[in-house]
Amino acid sequence: MSLSPIGYLLWVASGMLLALIVWALIRRALVREVPVFSLYVVFQLFRCLGLAVVYRMGRIEYFYSYWTAQTISAVLGFAVLYELYRKMFRSYDAIRQLGATLFAGAAVMLLAAAVLTTAFAPGADAAGVVKSVVLLERSVRVMQCGLLLFLFLLSFHFGLAWRNYLFGIALGFGIFASVELMAIALRSQLGGVAAGALALANSAAYDCGLVIWVCYLLAPEPAPQYRGVVQHNDLEKWNQALLEILQR
Amino acid sequence: MITTTLLIVFAAVAVLVLVRGARWHHRPVPALQALEEYTRPVDLAALRNLIDPAEEDYLRERLPAGTYRAIQRERLRAALEYVQRTAYNSAILLRVGEAARRDPNPEVAAAARALANDAMRLRVHARLAMLVLYGRIALPGARISVGRVTDIYENLTQGLVRLTRLQDPAHATRVSAAV
């Protein structure tokens, strides 16, 4: 059991990025705004550090610690998505109650889809408990991707305006969940042959999601950009151009 | 293999939607001064007439059944076009309201919040009204109300005028004419 230099680098980077996100959440006083997401990030940071310690203890210890942490992470991940749904719809009186209802409806449908894909799942690389865990992980990612996809489609449909940091959280989560879903699907098809490369791709996507979170959480809420406004300097340019024409 | 392919396609679609969402999130907001370039005009009086039950009863009593159905379908198609315009405008006004919501002036922020809420209410009602209108075009004899779209749209335009008076009084009249 050993990590490649790139894998090690990605692991260290994820720890640093998570620490930076915690700092950004505290600095911008967003912990109260998104308490579940804050808890999720703190948990991820402890998981990253904790697994680094357990990694040196042995294979069995690492296996059980990893999958326990993964289960807690999945539960917290759903809680973050629920928080996003509630916050997105809370601002509007007309659809205030809709967030929780749509989340529940979408979750039930996606659970059915996840159960169906599990029933028809190939399992080239593992047997017994590992196979079950991999299939469960895949179902979780199907549901997370689906819930985020649904949230984005709803926001297109209703024309919902996202706060910048909420959008960043959803985008980072979505990128990571989508790439991980692709990796899990490929791993179950290809078996152990591509496991190393897919694990690296997974870690890279995770770090990419963290970078998105860092960018959106550190950036202040931008002032709206208006279109169709004639800028003062535009008028000066027009004036200059007209003067030039008149002088010819 | 089929499950794997389906999952990869699903994840790829999710990534595409997220990327499109990122572009959509960062798009600029139409300025109040240039609102008429982005909105579609709605003749509220005409829409009210087109969905007025009394008007329908009048036509039903005076026209042969076949002619009535043909004319009623045309009227409902026109009403549908107007309702689609209200839904389109509500999406734009929702963004205008959201952008002004963080204004340091509490009066402007309150007017913007009200505008965003009315725009969202209209969006929901307009979608429902569109479904009803599609149904009624298929069955022009049916008596199903299209709801309160016109009243909500009127409230929305008043809210827009209120916000414009606070933000840019010189353009208030022009802006109200834009919607």
Q: In this predicted model, what pLDDT tens digit does every residue of B96-107 receive, in sequence order?
A: 888 888 888 899
Q: What residues in A contact B2, CB-CB < 8 Å?
A: 120
pTM of the model as a whole: 0.77
How many angstroms separate the first and last alpha carbons of chain B? 53
Using an 8 Å CB-CB cutoff, list chain A residues near B120.
Answer: 92-95, 158
Domain-embedded: residue A55: yes
Show the tokens assigned to A84: 């996003």
A170, A175, A188: residue with CB nearest B4: A188
Give yes or no for B12 touching A (CB within 8 A).
yes
Contact of B25 with chain A, judged by CB distance below 8 Å, is answered with yes
R_g (Cα) of chain A, nearest Å: 23
Residue A196 included in any domain: yes
**CATH no. for residue A78?**
1.20.1070
Q: What is the ipTM of this complex?
A: 0.74
> Which stretches does DSSP call E strand in chain A?
226-227
- The total of structural domains in chain A comes to 1
Domain for residue A228, yes or no?
A: no
Q: Is residue A36 part of a domain?
A: yes
What mean pLDDT is predicted for residues A135-139?
Answer: 78
Q: Which domain holds residue A85?
A: 5-220
Closest chain A residue to the Cα of B27, Cα to Cα: A225
A227 within some domain = no
- The closest alpha carbon to B122, from A92, A84, A89, belongs to A92
The mean per-residue pLDDT over the stretch B31-53 comes to: 86
Q: Is residue A226 part of a domain?
A: no
Residues of chain B positioned with their CB less than 8 A from the CB of A115? none
Q: Which residues of B touch A148 (CB under 8 A)?
A: 14, 18
pLDDT for residue A94 = 74
Mean per-residue pLDDT, B34-39: 81
Q: Does B45 touch chain A (CB under 8 A)?
A: no
Q: Is the dihedral of CA A198, A200, A206, A211 positive or negative?
A: negative
Residue B95: which of A121, A159, A174 has the nearest Cβ?
A159
Say if the Cβ atoms of A179 and B22 lie within 8 Å.
no
Distance CA A133, CA B7 (A): 17
For residue A147, tell me if it sits in a domain: yes
Name the more confident of A219 and A23.
Answer: A23
**CB contact at 8 A, B50 and B76:** yes
| Alpha carbon of A181: minimum distance to chain B alpha carbons (Å) | 6
Average pLDDT over residues A147-169: 86
Q: Does residue A72 form part of some domain?
A: yes
Residue of A nearest to B103 (CA): A223
pLDDT for res A124: 47
B132: nearest Cα among B123, B120, B144: B144
